[in-house]
C-alpha cells in the first residue's frame, strides 16, 4: 500500500500520531502555542473515543489519570505554565504506575513568560517535575515527521513500562508545517491490561493507587520503580549522531535547536571544518553512549534555548574527559547560525 503524505503542523502531527497509535482518550485545556493539537483531537477523535475540554490543567491531567486507570490509551497536551499545573497529577500517574502521554510544547518562562519558543522546561521534564522519586520518559522530536513517529512510540513505551511519557517540543516545532508520511499499518487497539479498572467480574478487585502506608511498603515500591527506570535507561536511549568519527567540535542540541545546528554543520563542513552533532532524542534517559569518545582533544558545544539545563546532563555524560562550551538564549531568543559559527570558530 502506498503511504500517504500530508502537509501538517507539528501540533497536528502529534495529534494524528496519537490517533494512529490508538489513543481513545484526550483531555486538555487551551494554551498557546499548542492550540492546534487540542483542536485536531476535538475534530478527529473517533466516535467511540472520548474528547473532553477540561476546566483546568489539573482536571485534564486527572482525567488522563482516570482514563489510563480504566485501560484507555490516553493523552493530554499543554504548554509550560499548564504543564506546571499538571505536575501533581503526573506524579500520581508515575506513583500509580499508569501509562499516559503528556505533550509539552514549551514557551518562554518563568511565570506567564511569553509565547515564544523556548526549551527552558528541560529540568522540569527530565527530573520528574513533581514530588517524589520518579521519572518520565522524555522524547524530543526534531521534525514534524519525527513528532508524528515519536508520538506513536510514546504510547508503546508508556504501555510497555507503565510510565508517563512526555513529548517535549517548542513553539517552532508545534507551529511549523512539513510533509509527513503517514504510517500504513493500523496500530492494534488497546491491548488487554490486567490491572485496569473494568469492574471485578470474574476476578479479585483491582486497585489503582500510589499510597503506601504500611511501614517499609513505600520504600519497597520505590525500589521497584527504580528497577524499572534502570531497565529503561539500559534499553531506551535514543539519539542521532552526525560526523562523530572525525569531528573536532561536536555540537549537542535537541529539538528545534538541532535543526539550526545541522545547517551550521553543513556550512562548516563544506568549508572543511570538522564539526559534528549529537542530537539527544530521548532526554530521559539521556543518551550516554555517543559521549563515550576516547579522543581528549574533542570539544563539545552545547546549544540550548535555555541557560544551561541540558548542559548538566552533557557534563555528567562526558564526565570530565573533554572540554565543554555552552551557548544559550532564552525568553524568546534563539541562538542563530551566526552566533554558533562565531562560537565554534573561537573553540576550533
Partner 1 sequence: MEKIFFRAESLYDVSTHYCPGCGHGIAHRLVAEVIDELGVREKTIGIAPVGCAVVAYDYWNFDCSEAAHGRALAVATAIKRVHPQNVVFTYQGDGDLAAIGTNETIHAANRGENLTVVFINNAVYGMTGGQMAPTTLLGQKTSTSIEGRQKEKHGYPLKISEMLALLPGVTYVERVSLQSPQEVLKAKRAIKQAFENQINNLGFSLVEVLSPCPTYWGQSPKEALDWIRDVMQKEFPLGRIK
> Helix, strand or coil for residue 188?
coil
Whether the link from the prior residue into 285 is cis, omega within 30° of 0, is yes
Query: 74 or 120: whose CB is closer to partner 1?
Result: 74
- Which run of H or E residues covers position 215? none
Secondary structure (DSSP) of 50-96? EEEE-SSHHHHHHHHHHHHHTT--EEEEE-HHHHHHHHHHHHHHHHT
* Touching partner 1, residues 269-328 (CB under 8 A): none
Task: Please state whether 151 falls in left (phi above 0), alpha (psi between -120 and 50) or beta.
Answer: alpha
Is residue 76 within the footprint of partner 1 (CB under 8 A)?
A: no
Segment interacting with partner 1 (CB under 8 A) among 7-15, 84-92, 153-161, 226-234: 84-92
Q: Judged by CB under 8 A, how many residues of this single chain contact partner 1?
A: 40
- CB of 283 within 8 A of CB of 168? yes
> Helix, strand or coil for residue 284?
strand
> Helix, strand or coil for residue 264?
helix
* Touching partner 1, residues 7-66 (CB under 8 A): 24-25, 27, 50, 52, 54-56, 58-60, 62-66
* Touching partner 1, residues 88-127 (CB under 8 A): 88-89, 92, 96
Query: 214 or 297: whose CB is closer to partner 1?
Result: 214
Query: 211 or 307: whose CB is closer to partner 1?
Result: 211
- CB of 305 within 8 A of CB of 319? no
- Residue selected from 211, 224, 292, 342 as contacting partner 1 according to rule CB under 8 A: 211
- Residue selected from 35, 114, 183, 198 as contacting partner 1 according to rule CB under 8 A: 198
- CB of 73 within 8 A of CB of 152? no
Q: How far is the CB of 204 from partner 1 (least distance, A)?
A: 9
Is residue 222 within the footprint of partner 1 (CB under 8 A)?
A: no
Q: How far is the CB of 206 from partner 1 (least distance, A)?
A: 5
Which residues are near partner 1 by CB under 8 A? 24-25, 27, 50, 52, 54-56, 58-60, 62-67, 69-72, 74, 88-89, 92, 96, 197-202, 205-211, 213
Amino acid at each position: 500500500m502506498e503511504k500517504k503524505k500530508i502537509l501538517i503542523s507539528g501540533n497536528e502531527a502529534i495529534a494524528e500520531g496519537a490517533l494512529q497509535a490508538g489513543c481513545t482518550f484526550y483531555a486538555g485545556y487551551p494554551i498557546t502555542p499548542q492550540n492546534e493539537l487540542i483542536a485536531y483531537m476535538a475534530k478527529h477523535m473517533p466516535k467511540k473515543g472520548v474528547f473532553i475540554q477540561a476546566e483546568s490543567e489539573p482536571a485534564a491531567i486527572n482525567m488522563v489519570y482516570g482514563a489510563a486507570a480504566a485501560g484507555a490509551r490516553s493523552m493530554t497536551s499543554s504548554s509550560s505554565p499548564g504543564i506546571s499545573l499538571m505536575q501533581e497529577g503526573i506524579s500520581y500517574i508515575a506513583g500509580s504506575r499508569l501509562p499516559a502521554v503528556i505533550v509539552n510544547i514549551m514557551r518562554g518562562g518563568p511565570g506567564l513568560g511569553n509565547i515564544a519558543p523556548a526549551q527552558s522546561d528541560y529540568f522540569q521534564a527530565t527530573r520528574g517535575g513533581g514530588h517524589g522519586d520518579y521519572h518520565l520518559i522524555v522524547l524530543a522530536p526534531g521534525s514534524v515527521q519525527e513528532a508524528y513517529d515519536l508520538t506513536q512510540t510514546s504510547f508503546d513505551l508508556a504501555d510497555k513500562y507503565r510510565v508517563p511519557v512526555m513529548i517535549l517540543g517548542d513553539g517552532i516545532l508545534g507551529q511549523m508545517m512539513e510533509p509527513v508520511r503517514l504510517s500504513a499499518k493500523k496500530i492494534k487497539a488497546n491491548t488487554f491490561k490486567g490491572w485496569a479498572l473494568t469492574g471485578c467480574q470474574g476476578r479479585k478487585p483491582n486497585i489503582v493507587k500510589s499510597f503506601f502506608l504500611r511501614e517499609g511498603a513505600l520504600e519497597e515500591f520505590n525500589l521497584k520503580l527504580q528497577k524499572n527506570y534502570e531497565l529503561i535507561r539500559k534499553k531506551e536511549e535514543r539519539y542521532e549522531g552526525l560526523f562523530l568519527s572525525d569531528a573536532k567540535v561536536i555540537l549537542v542540541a535537541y529539538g528545534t535547536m538541532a535543526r539550526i545546528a545541522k545547517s551550521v554543520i553543513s556550512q562548516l563542513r563544506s568549508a572543511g571544518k570538522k564539526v559534528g552533532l549529537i542530537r539527544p532524542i530521548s532526554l530521559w534517559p539521556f543518551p550516554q553512549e555517543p559521549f563515550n569518545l576516547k579522543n581528549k582533544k574533542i570539544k563539545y558545544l552545547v546549544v540550548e534555548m535555555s541557560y544551561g539545563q541540558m548542559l548538566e546532563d552533557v557534563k555528567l555524560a562526558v564526565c570530565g574527559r573533554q572540554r565543554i562550551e555552552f551557548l544559550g538564549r532564552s525568553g524568546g531568543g534563539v541562538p542563530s547560525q551566526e552566533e554558533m559559527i562565531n562560537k565554534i570558530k573561537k573553540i576550533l
